[in-house]
Amino acid sequence: MEKQIGKNVSSGAEKVERAEEYSAEKVNGPVKKTAPAKKTGKQTASKTANKTKKPSAKQKELSKAEKREKAAAEKRLERAKKREELKEEKKADKIAMKQKKLEKKAEIKQKKLDKKAMTAEKKAERKQKKLDRKAALKEKRVEKRAERAARRELLKNETKAERQKRLEREKREKIALKRQKAAAQEKAREEKIKAGQAAHARRAQERKHRREQRTARKENRRGFGGWLAAVISLGVATLILGTVVTAGAFRLNDMAMIGETGARSTLYELVSVSEDMDNNLSKLRISSGVDEQRRLLTSILIDSALIENAIEKLPVDAATSTDISGFVNDANSFADSMLTRLSQGKKLTAAEKEKISALYAVNRQLCGELNTLATHMTSGDVMDFITGNEGTMSEGFGSIGSGIRDHVGELDDAPFAKEGNLGENKLKELPEITQAEAEGKAREYFSAYHVADVRFTGETSSADAACYNFVLTDENGIEIFAEITKNGGKLAFFDCYEDCAEKNFDLATCDHLAKEFLAGLGIEGVEAVWLSDAGTVANITYVTAENGVRIYPEVVRVRVCESKGRVVGVDARGYLLNNEEHDTKAALTEGEARELLSEALDVTAANLAVIPDGGRQTLCYEFACNADGEQFIVYLDAKTGAEVKIFRVRTGSTGTYLE
């Protein structure tokens, strides 16, 4: 059995031999089989040696192909791995970015929540303070009621003679106060006249100096050629001088007469037109019919244009011409705007009627002084005037310009300074105080003025605010007139008549003193937008500044004596009436708004501002600009870019003002 199994198992050499035979048959055809010979020892060794034979060329080619395929497969695998790695990186970046966005969103949300919580906390604090104030005021009211009850009981026992004495004393005090005010006004008027005369003399001296300089320059420009030409011309001129001198004299006399006649004619024209404007403004003050108001305003437009044209014909100095033109342009602009308002179906407001009265007062003064000048002028005065010499006419026109400048300054010496209440009256929200409480407030506000006496002089009531009036007298006898609001006990207005003869403080110091005084009134966060120190009193206009935005309706006007460095006047009614929160978010950027300005304007400063516009408050961009040597202030709507208001900055004989 074992022998049989051994016979059936073929050796490895036999298998190789059979494979070679099979390959040979394929190439050379079938091979005849022969009987196998007996294997010798040499044959067995040969078969063993065949095992170590070198591979054929075909086998080598197959091996190389396998290697190339293997290398290509490995490269494909590496590229696939890199693609997967890139995908994973992008996926990780997206996840990180998404995480950052979520974190930022959460941070913004947290900030909003914090801001909301802070706002709620501040609101709660304000509410609590308001409740505390109300409680304190309620306690004071209870005390004051008891005081009033005691006073009533005391007055019940007052005899008729005592009452009569008290009333007479109060009447004497009022009369004395009026006389004192009148004397102070007269003194101020005299000082203004003197200042005008001094300014006129100074301008005359400057003109003389300029003439001398021009003459000196001409002399210096004359060289040898000019001297030679002058010698030759002199010889020729000497020959013909005798012929023309007589005719020239006649012509000069004729020209002088024509100049005098023209000046007289222009002055009479001014008188006539100013009288016509006086008539129209007087009627407009009391007119309530729309058709009649239109007719009168149209006439005022024409009259103002005629006055402006006549002034240009007269040889008045630049400052006086600017002052008179300022008033005329103000009247012209006002009449034009009122005609537009009437055409829209609107009616004139109380503030606009006050403006009409103010224009009437100015024109009344202009008309009277022109009449006086036309009545008293002589031929010599006219000739001095048209030749540029000092005289009655030049002084008269200087006085007219100075007087008009005073009134124009009161009307428009700062942007939107006279707009009054716009919208909800904030004073009405405050609790009402008694007369005694108001007196205590007055003493508190003027604690640094060494007040020796306080007198109650009555009450004033207007559509915007009701006030208690007091006259405070300091240790030097100087009296201060003050108005304390019934609601809230705020200082709405005060004025005193200090003798400010010298200039010891500059504008910067006056600004600092004014802000200190306003801080004592509880008025903070204001910015000076208009400073003027004509004479020896600094006039400064402040407005509230919210995050860099000027709030013009919240205006405070302060006067500071530059001799003593003391505040001598405050008008805070605009601030008290309009103090509220405003929308200060602009739809346009400053650059976008600047692109809408005229190309003729050169912008020197820009600022966001809330301004009064037709009885409402409008957010605008305020641009201070120059154009052809003149200064302008232009306001563009910060949401639409529309032009809302333009002011022209003018310089008169006593300072700078707007029109």
Contact 570/517 with Cβ under 8 angstroms? yes
CATH architecture of 583-659: Roll (3.10)
Find the mean pLDDT for residues 121-128. Answer: 90
pLDDT of residue 146: 83
pLDDT of residue 181: 75
Residue 198 token pair: 């001094």
Cβ-based neighbour number of residue 259 at 10 Å: 16
How do beta strands 479-485 and 491-496 pair? antiparallel
More confident residue, 433 or 226: 433
Angle between helix 224-286 and 350-376 (nearest 10)? 130
N residues, the chain: 659
pLDDT of residue 412: 47
- State the Cα–Cα distance between residues 317 and 394, nearest whole angstrom: 8
pLDDT for 570-624, tens place per residue?
Answer: 998 888 887 777 778 899 999 999 999 988 899 999 999 998 887 678 899 999 9
DSSP single-letter state for residue 641? -
pLDDT for 453-467, tens place per residue?
Answer: 999 988 877 667 789
Q: Which residues of 329-347 are buried (b: 16+ CB within 10 A; e: fewer)?
A: bbbbbbbeebbebbeeeee
In the chain, what percentage of residues exceed pLDDT 70? 70
pLDDT of residue 427: 80
Query: What DSSP string runs through 507-543?
Result: HHHHHHHHHHHHHHTT--SEEEEEEE-STTEEEEEEE
Classify 593 as helix, strand or coil: helix
Please write down the HEC assignment for all residues of 116-160.
HHHHHHHHHHHHHHHHHHHHHHHHHHHHHHHHHHHHHHHHHCCCH
Provide the pLDDT confidence category of residue 68 given band limits of 50, 70 and 90.
confident
State which fold the 243-412 domain adopts: Four Helix Bundle (Hemerythrin (Met), subunit A) (1.20.120)
pLDDT of residue 483: 92
Count of H-run helices and E-run strands, the chain: 15, 13
Contact 640/586 with Cβ under 8 angstroms? no
pLDDT of residue 10: 46
pLDDT of residue 144: 81
- State the Cα–Cα distance between residues 440 and 458, nearest whole angstrom: 16
pLDDT of residue 411: 41
Residue 620: what residue type? C
